[in-house]
């Protein structure tokens, strides 16, 4: 039987590495690169979503502030209308009281 030398072992391991291990590592590296790209794409999508949410949040607060201004204005206009109505009623009441006072003076 022939004696196995270090060179024979090295050549066999090199051949095994080149035919079996290296292609598998290359495949794994390729898949890792693909996964890295997918993660970068996902992160980019998240960044776009966060930017849109920030813009929507800003618009939301602008809308809320506008609605508050409208509500305050409507309340003010409603109160002004009620005050005007009360002034009219008070004026009518004063006229009636004055009329009653005149009538009472004529009876005395």
| Distance, CA of 30 to CA of 24 (rounded, Å) | 10
pLDDT above 90 (res 2): no
| Distance, CA of 24 to CA of 76 (rounded, Å) | 77
16, two tokens: 């095994």
| Distance, CA of 30 to CA of 47 (rounded, Å) | 26
Report the pLDDT value the prediction gives residue 108, as an integer from 0 to 100. 67
pLDDT above 90 (res 4): no
pLDDT digits (tens, 9 = 90+) for 68-83: 998 888 788 788 888 8
| Distance, CA of 8 to CA of 15 (rounded, Å) | 10
85, two tokens: 């109505």
Using 50, 70 and 90 to split pLDDT, how confident is the model at 103?
confident
pLDDT digits (tens, 9 = 90+) for 39-76: 999 999 999 999 999 999 999 999 999 999 988 887 88
For 22-48, the DSSP string reads HHHHHHHHHHHHHHHHHHHHHHHHHHH
Using 50, 70 and 90 to split pLDDT, how confident is the model at 102?
confident
Angle, CA 85 vertex, CA 81 and CA 91 arms, to 5°: 145
């Amino acid at each position: 039987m022939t004696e196995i030398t270090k060179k024979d072992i090295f050549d066999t391991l090199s051949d095994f590495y080149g035919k079996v291990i290296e292609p598998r590592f290359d495949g794994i590296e390729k898949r890792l690169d693909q996964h890295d790209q997918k993660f970068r794409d996902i992160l980019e999508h998240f960044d776009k979503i966060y930017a849109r949410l920030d813009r929507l949040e800003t618009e939301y607060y602008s809308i809320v502030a506008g609605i508050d201004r409208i509500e305050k204005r409507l309340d003010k206009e409603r109160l002004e209308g009620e005050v005007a109505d009360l002034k009219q009623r008070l004026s009518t009441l004063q006229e009636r009281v004055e009329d009653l006072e005149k009538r009472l003076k004529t009876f005395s």
